[in-house]
Amino acid sequence: MKKTTIFLVSSLVIIFVLFFTSPSIAGCNKTATKQLDVYVWEGYLPAEAATLFEQETGIKLNINYITDNEKATTLLQGGGKADIIMPTQSSINRYYEGDLVQPLDIKNITNYGKVLRFLKDQPWAKWDGAQMGSGEIYAIPYIFGTNGLVINTSKYTKSIDDIGWEILFDTGLKGRVSVKNNLTSLWPILDLLAIPMGNLATNPQETLEKIKPKAIELKDNVLKFYNSEAELLDIMKNEEVWVCKCEDGSGRKLSQFDSKFKYVISKTGALAFTDTFMIPKEAANPKGANLFIDFMLRPDIAVMLTEQSGFTTTVEGVLDIAEGIDKDLYRYTDEQLAKFKFTPNLSKEVRSIYLEFWEELSTVQ
The conformational region for residue 139 under phi > 0 = left, psi -120 to 50 = alpha, else beta, is beta
Distant-in-sequence, close-in-space partners of 193: CB < 8 Å, separation ≥ 6: 210, 211, 214
Strand 177-180 to 243-247 pairing: parallel
Q: Which of helix, strand or coil describes residue 11?
A: helix
Are 261 and 157 part of one and the same domain? yes
Instruction: Tell me whether residue 153 is in a domain.
Output: yes
Instruction: Tell me whether residue 18 is in a domain.
Output: no
Instruction: Tell me whether residue 90 is in a domain.
Output: yes
**67-99 per-position pLDDT tens digit:** 888 888 888 888 889 999 999 998 999 999 999
Give yes or no for a contact between 345 and 132, defined as CB atoms under 8 angstroms apart: yes
Distant-in-sequence, close-in-space partners of 129: CB < 8 Å, separation ≥ 6: 135
CATH code of the domain containing 75: 3.40.190.10
Distant-in-sequence, close-in-space partners of 5: CB < 8 Å, separation ≥ 6: none
Instruction: Tell me whether residue 98 is in a domain.
Output: yes
Longest Cα pair distance anywhere in the chain, in angstroms? 99
Instruction: Tell me whether residue 5 is in a domain.
Output: no
Are 241 and 279 part of one and the same domain? no
Separation CA 45–CA 34 (nearest Å): 19
With residues binned 3-state (H G I as helix, E B as strand, rest as coil), the percentages for the chain, rounded to 5, are 50, 20, 30
Are 349 and 211 part of one and the same domain? yes
**295-343 per-position pLDDT tens digit:** 999 999 999 998 888 788 999 988 888 887 888 878 888 888 788 888 8
Q: What is the structure's pLDDT at 349? A: 85
Q: Tell which wins on pLDDT, 245 or 22.
A: 245
Are 165 and 292 part of one and the same domain? no
Closest CA to 122 of 73, 88, 89: 89
**5-52 per-position pLDDT tens digit:** 444 444 444 433 343 343 333 333 334 469 999 999 988 999 999 999
Q: What is the structure's pLDDT at 33? A: 65
Are 228 and 313 part of one and the same domain? no
Phi, psi angles (nearest 5°) of residue 247: -80, 155
Containing structural domain, residue 172: 145-272+343-363
Are 307 and 208 part of one and the same domain? no
Instruction: Tell me whether residue 10 is in a domain.
Output: no
Instruction: Tell me whether residue 8 is in a domain.
Output: no
Phi, psi angles (nearest 5°) of residue 104: -85, 150
Are 124 and 251 part of one and the same domain? no
Q: What is the structure's pLDDT at 326? A: 81
Mean pLDDT of all residues in the chain? 87
**157-201 per-position pLDDT tens digit:** 999 998 999 999 999 999 999 999 988 899 999 999 999 988 988
Are 101 and 195 part of one and the same domain? no
Residue 128: CB atoms within 10 A of its CB come to 11
- Domains identified in the chain, total number: 2
Are 137 and 281 part of one and the same domain? yes
Are 110 and 157 part of one and the same domain? no
Instruction: Tell me whether residue 53 is in a domain.
Output: yes
Are 159 and 187 part of one and the same domain? yes
Are 268 and 351 part of one and the same domain? yes
